[in-house]
Structure 1
């Protein structure tokens, strides 16, 4: 009786959720997919370690809502990735979790049917299956780690992880990042503050112990060794972009002061493009010019891209959804994506020899 007065006062129900082991048994990792994951992680790590002179590009839909269109996009991206593989490493952006400023669709895992049924159990299995399919195509994948439990379900299929602007300051996410098996990009805060990302990199590089779950879904004390592949992602903020030469130089100085490797990823979307997709090519072109003029710190870029340009609201009748068009942030279309990537590859080939000889 006493507990009823003090516990779970705002909880309606606790529904069963399969354990990570159960989801993995339903969608097991294949040898081909594992090879893609390992190769993708190694390539990104080699870029961060300056063993690989290429630039990696995390490119893909703002969020996945239609696995059929998502795989269509992945197959197109794989062809493009092979075409530019001498100077660019393309990593498909596969985001299932969407942080919301207030309310809205929280992503494919949370609500896979897009009808407020919140079948997280179904969403998690379908998300894992989609990642497996992309990896079997031969593409490395990237995602944003939002829920600290979710990586136990599909982290073995991810090659690069982002910690978002809203969560880079969160101790929970810094602890989680310290145990992830991938390189992790920490975004600057939504107000543009760089210190948040730098402190996150330093924190995630250290060992941590925290409450989590194991592969059987049981509560466990998770102990990590620290992740040395943390780096900063410039995404703009505070009403201004931060991809320009001066902003990048200031980021380099801040990293040097913290005795961190000068590894910078530029997000062409979000505040760097005022969330207007037509500006993403301009951001990327500016950054490519910086690299051509001798910048060595920019190792990666991010692009929000889909088959169709723009975005759409989620209709009551889901059959009215436009194929290959974002239901979250507006994206550049496929034709623009190809042009952006090919132009970047051309510019990088002009300085390939210089980047190969960098320290």
Structure 2
């Protein structure tokens, strides 16, 4: 008899169930209360009357947890300093979409050597999220694999669906069952229609294939996620954060009967993929807010201890501490100065009270 399945499968490695991993890295009562509070605050900024600026900032991806914890400790102190006008949420990105091939993130390859020990990656991700929460920092991530949320979503305060996956039915269904506010990015071509349709789909009840907490294949039935919104990240035709682009996004959202809540990604095509241009994007966003715009609710920045990025793959011992191995970032000194500048620039918004 001819073999008709698993012809190209070399190995299938069993993973711990989500319940087993949660037992090994349990969420504490204090962490649970903090996550619930952070999610509520983010929801109010996006959809209600909290006028604070939502700033999602941090490394493009987590590849060295020691360096990222160093960054997080600095960010936590800065977050406390500006908390009256800015709610800082740290990027804790463990999965990276690849156009062709490349390192797919800490969860998929935690040792950065092609061994792809996903079980270890999941444990590391969960332990690191708990460490960040204990610093008093809300957590943000991009969810890429539809199974991943069962392992870590209970520790996430805000999440994103990227430009490559916003059109994916699988990711829209996944979003409908998530428990935190979630941003859909516009498509890589800059168009808004995919994100608008994704918000609609994500807010509706869905039924899809997934795994339960015991790791069994299951039919997952959701009630819909009411906290989905749009993220503008530019596209192949250029940036989309100008007043004209914002007005168009507002028009499209209103036509779709969706809240006019817009987050601006200062990186990617909005900065022409030049990390050093992120500050000018943020300054323009704040200028529009101070001119009276009420639909922009925050921004995203890619930031690390040191600026730029470094080639990868290369031997781990040769990697520079605090430098991204994925997208380039601004350095800590620039980040710290920019956040304080943001805090000061937002003063007029709060002087109206």
- What is aligned with 1:130? 128
Query: Separation in 1 of the partners of 2:11 and 2:305?
Result: 39
User: Which of these residues, 79, 87, 92, is aligned with residue 94 of structure 1?
Assistant: 92
Give the one of 335, 349, 353 matched to 2:347.
Answer: 349
Partner in structure 2 of residue 220 of structure 1: 218
Contact 1:208 1:225 in 2 (8 A): yes
The residue number in structure 1 matching 2:44 is 46
For the residue of structure 1 that corresponds to 2:346, the secondary structure is helix
Query: Given the alignment of the two structures, is residue 240 of structure 1 paired with residue 238 of structure 2, yes or no?
Result: yes
1:38 positional shift? 1.2
- What's 1:271 paired with? 269
TM-score by structure 1 length?
A: 0.97
SS of 2:310's partner is coil
* Structure 2, unpaired ranges of 5+: none
Shift of 1:35: 2.4
Q: Provide the C-alpha distance between the structure 1 equivalents of 2:348 and 2:318, rounded to a whole number of angstroms.
A: 45
Q: Which residue of 2 aligns with 1:117?
A: 115
Aligned mate of 1:284, from 258, 282, 285: 282
Q: Using the alignment, how far apart are the partners of 2:47 and 2:190 within structure 1?
A: 26
What is the match of residue 5 of structure 2? Answer: 7
CA drift of 1:316 comes to 3.3
1:31 maps to 29
> In 2, are the aligned partners of 1:33 and 1:138 still within 8 Å (CA)?
no
Equivalent residue for 1:150?
148
Instruction: For residue 210 of structure 1, give the secondary structure of its aligned residue in structure 2.
Output: strand
The corresponding residue for 1:302 is 300
How many angstroms does 1:51 deviate by? Answer: 2.6
Give the alignment of 1:173-252 within 5 angstroms: 173-252=171-250
Could you give the per-residue CA deviations for residues 199-226 of structure 1, whole angstroms, max 9, x where no partner exists? 0000101000000000000011100000
The Cα of 1:319 is off from its aligned counterpart by 1.2
Q: Cα deviation per residue 1:164-220 (whole Å; 9 max; x = unaligned)?
A: 000000000000000000011000000001000000000101000000000000011
Q: For residue 210 of structure 2, give the secondary structure of its aligned residue in structure 1.
A: strand
Q: Deviations over 1:224-256 (max 9, x none)?
A: 000111100000002300011100110000000
Cross-structure match for 1:259: 257
> When the two structures are superposed, what TM-score results if normalisation uses the length of structure 2?
0.98
Number of residues of Structure 1 aligned to a counterpart in Structure 2: 353
- Distance (Å, rounded) in 2 between the aligned partners of 1:157 and 1:349: 32
Deviation at 1:10, TM superposition (A): 1.2
Deviates more, 1:167-176 or 1:24-33: 24-33
Corresponding residue number in structure 2 for 1:171: 169
Q: Which runs of 4+ in 1 moved over 4 A?
A: none
Q: Secondary structure at the match of 1:6?
A: coil
Give 1:325's aligned residue: 323
Deviations 1:19-41 (A, max 9, x none): 10111111111122222211210
Contact 1:109 1:123 in 2 (8 A): yes
Distance 2:322 2:348 in 1: 34
**Separation of aligned partners in 1, 2:237 and 2:322:** 30
Query: Which one of the candidate residues 16, 19, 23 is aligned to 1:18?
Result: 16
Q: 2:56 aligns with which of 50, 58, 67?
A: 58
Cα deviations by residue, 1:45-97 (Å, 9 ceiling, x for unpaired): 11122231111100000000011111111111111100110010000000000
Question: Which residue number corresponds to residue 332 of structure 2?
Answer: 334
Residue 315 of structure 1, CA deviation: 5.2
